[in-house]
Every structure is written in structure tokens, then in C-alpha cells.
Amino acid sequence: MKKILLILLLIPINVFGLSVPSRNAILIDQDTGRILYSKNINEKRLIASTTKIMTAVIAIESGKLDDTVIIKDNILKSYGSGIYIKPGEHITLRELVYGLLLRSGNDAALAIEEYLGGHDKFITKMNIKAKEIGMKNTFFENSNGLDESGEENYSTVYDMALLMKYANNNYDFREIDSTKKIEVETNKNYYSWTNKNKLLFSYKYATGGKTGFTKKARRTLVTSSTKNDINLIAVTFVDKDDYNTHKKLYEYGFNNYKRYLVLNKNKIRIKGHKNAYIKSNYYYLLRKGENNKIDTKVILNRKDNILGYISVKLNGKEVHREQVYINKKYNKKRMFSNY
């Protein structure tokens, strides 16, 4: 085991305290998952229509977005918020996802689950995906978030942040979720849908999200935001002023954290292994006072072309592992940092 000193030049930034009225709240870095603010982040609560983020993920990952869906008679069972599609209507799965995320269509959710194998199969997929993402305190019983008929979806703000982080890694999800307005024409109707996420219209850094409300769950909100090279996710439960709370959370993140290059793939030097390299740069959000709390170690565990990994720690806690490779065809000079 060899220790490597990491030299960072950090510019001081202002730090201020933060308090929000939400029962549960979290702010995370989209890229690394670092938690920047937390309040009751592991308390399980009903999540209302933020459920539809997972519904959209399952639909998108089905690979059938451009399939044409013929709406069946069971759509008449849908109630609450909707896009008001009708039996016999022809609409693509992609358009249903637009209606799901922009207008919170419960009928869109019903049509999606029906097309992709029916209720039981679809809900099973939702729960399997939740486990894959690492949502340990989440359980789905329906695809829309309604909780009046005995079916209830539970999660935490932490788990929902993980879900949004996962979803945002998908191009189609980001494209649909960030859309402010879209027009759709089917064989039976013409629609003009405006996104219900008001943050997209009132906060210039907002990039997407999903609203939710039921009488039992109260207000739930999941959003994302980007400023310069910082990508953040905020989640709140039970907050009457959630849009302003999310703005407050984002301003806290943008004003108090900066993205730093911790591992530079072009400047890696490991003693005795001049042909060692990493494939990617690694960035991490840091705040004032953390410049002397980052350190790295190389853990050697040679196997084929893998030398081991670099462990990045903040305050003694590992936050990242970057795999180190051996270039067997190494035959040219490289620039190295003083590791």
C-alpha cells in the first residue's frame, strides 16, 4: 500500500447556515452523489406523483418509446390528474411519457403499465429497479402515486434523490423532463401540454423535476438544477412553499461549493509504475475549509491490465475509487504531477 499526497489549490468561498421548512429535505451533487444538505433524509413517507419518475424510467428503458400504443377501455378507470386520452386512441409510448412527466397524467401511467405487461409485471419492474439503484427504503404498489385505494408508494428524500440522479443519466429522460411545452396530435385529439413544474419557469438554472400532491402525502417535489459546471438535485416532502425552498437549497449549493479536479488523468504518477494511468478525470464538490481534508491512496492489487485503484477520502471517509490501469504498450513520455 502506498500513500500519495494530493495537492489542491482551493479558492475560499463563503459558507452560511441553512434552514428549510420541509419535513424532509436533501440536496445532492448529481455527479458524485455527495450530500450537501440533509434533513430527516431516511424517514419513509408517501411520495405521491413523484412516483412517476420511476414509471418514466421503466418506460424509457423498455426500448419501445417509438411504439404506437392503442388505448384500451380500462383507461376509463383512471381518475385525478390526467391527459384525458380515450379508448381507441393511437399515441406513442414517448408521447405518453411526456404526458406522464409534464402533466402528471394518471391515465398516461395506466396506459404505460398496460402496454408494458400489465399492472403486476410493471410494479415488479419498478421495485426491482429501485433495488438496483440502491433505494433501500422504497416500495411501490402503483405507477401513479395515488394513495386513496389501499395502494401506497413509500420512499425517502434520499432514495428519491438517488432515483433522480439515475434518471438524469438517461438522455431521453432529461430531454422529456426538461421540456416546458409540447404539442401532440393523435388520431382522436390534439394536445398542448405545459409542464406543471413551475421551477422550470421561475428559476433560470432549473433543468427538470416532478411534482406531487395527495391529501395523505401532502406536497412532494423532486427537481434538478445546473449552474456553470455544478449539477444539483433537491428533494422535499411536506413543504407548502417547496418551489422557494428548492431555490434556497440550490443557491446554498451554488454559493458554497465549487467543483474541483481531484484526479487528473493526464498527471498521474505512481512510483515504480510509469505506465500506469486512469481513464477519466475525477471532480468533487468542495467547500471552504476542506482543502486540507482530501487525501488519496493507491491500493495495489494487480490483475491482468489493472494495477489497483486510487482511493479518494474526505475527512477520512472514502468518497470515490478510481481504477488504475497498466498500459502495456507504453512507449512515450508523459507529463506527471507531484503525487
Considering the candidates 22, 39, 52, 258, report the single residue annotated as catalytic: 52
Question: In terms of domains, do 8 and 141 share one?
Answer: no
Considering the candidates 22, 78, 81, 104, report the single residue annotated as catalytic: 104
pTM: 0.90
| 52 included as an active-site residue | yes
Q: Helix (H, G, I), strand (E, B), or coil: what is residue 272?
A: coil
For residues 62, 56, 236, 249, the Cα torsion angle rounded to the nearest 10 degrees is 90
- Percent of the chain clearing pLDDT 90 (strictly above): 86
Distance between CA atoms of residues 84 and 105, nearest Å:
8
Q: Residue 138: give its domain's CATH number.
A: 3.40.710.10
Question: In terms of domains, do 51 and 103 share one?
Answer: yes
Question: In terms of domains, do 185 and 233 share one?
Answer: yes
Residue 250 belongs to some domain of the structure: no
Question: In terms of domains, do 36 and 182 share one?
Answer: yes
Residue 17 belongs to some domain of the structure: no
Question: In terms of domains, do 65 and 161 share one?
Answer: yes
- Model pLDDT, residue 72: 97
- Is residue 331 packed enough to be buried (19+ CB in 10 Å), middle (13-18) or exposed (0-12)? exposed
Statement: residue 2 has pLDDT above 70: no
Residue range 37-58: mean pLDDT, rounded: 98
Question: In terms of domains, do 65 and 7 share one?
Answer: no
Q: At what angle do helices 93-103 and 106-115 cross, to 10 degrees?
A: 150
| 49 included as an active-site residue | yes
Whether 101 and 95 have beta carbons less than 8 Å apart is answered as no
Distance between CA atoms of residues 269 and 106, nearest Å:
55
Question: In terms of domains, do 281 and 160 share one?
Answer: no
CA 192 remoteness from chain centre: 27
- Model pLDDT, residue 330: 53
Cα separation values, 18 from 15, 27, 139, 248, 250, Å: 10, 11, 30, 8, 11
- Is residue 10 packed enough to be buried (19+ CB in 10 Å), middle (13-18) or exposed (0-12)? middle
Residue range 24-46: mean pLDDT, rounded: 98
Distance between CA atoms of residues 33 and 319, nearest Å:
9
- The total of structural domains in the chain comes to 2
pLDDT digits over 185-239, tens only? 999 999 999 999 999 999 999 999 999 999 999 999 999 999 999 999 999 999 9
Residue 104 belongs to some domain of the structure: yes
- Model pLDDT, residue 328: 76
Q: Tell me, what DSSP letter sits at residue 270?
A: B
Q: Look up the domain containing 316 and give its range.
A: 2-12+260-326
pLDDT digits over 276-304, tens only? 999 999 999 999 889 789 999 999 999 98
**Cell reading at 307:** 494495477
pLDDT digits over 240-269, tens only? 999 999 999 999 999 999 999 999 999 998
Statement: residue 13 has pLDDT above 80: no
- Model pLDDT, residue 327: 86
- Model pLDDT, residue 291: 79
Residue 204 belongs to some domain of the structure: yes
Average pLDDT over the chain reads: 92
Residue range 99-107: mean pLDDT, rounded: 98
Considering the candidates 22, 39, 49, 247, report the single residue annotated as catalytic: 49
Statement: residue 333 has pLDDT above 90: no
pLDDT digits over 140-180, tens only? 999 999 998 889 999 999 999 999 999 999 999 999 999 99
Q: How many helices (H) and strands (E) does the chain have?
A: 8, 18
